[in-house]
Structure 1
Amino acid sequence: MKEVKSTMAGNVWKIVVEAGQEITNGEDVVILESMKMEIPVSAESDGVVKEVKVKEGDFVNEGDRLVILE
């Protein structure tokens, strides 16, 4: 099981993947918003999205799990 974690603290602005979706290394999975800037968070490996752990509008800290991959 692989995880995609937040790279910084911020609000979850947009979730761009859903459970069951195949993704590739480097593909954006979540867009964070911090200080009026949009920061994409990308997968670090190929996989299939097993679970999205956050919802749009949530506040996350650096290192929080965003997406679980199989």
Structure 2
Amino acid sequence: MNPKELLEYLTDEGICYGQIYLLIKVETAKENIDNLALIWWYNFKSTKNQYYNGCPRLKLTELYNIVNV
């Protein structure tokens, strides 16, 4: 997630929530190996009632990233 995208989120003391949907290992002919993860991000459902019984109330966003792990 780049810094511009981070401003679109309400954070929980600086923490953003995401879920990894896919792990990929990519090997090329030149013996380069990349391990990639597809992360789909969550945001709070409401700005007024962000927690229910101490747990964050989240919804999936339309934002996802592929990162090298």
Larger radius of gyration: 2
TM-score, normalization by structure 2: 0.31
- Larger helix fraction of residues: 2
TM-score, normalization by structure 1: 0.31
Which structure is higher in RCO with an 8 Å CA cutoff and minimum separation 6? 1
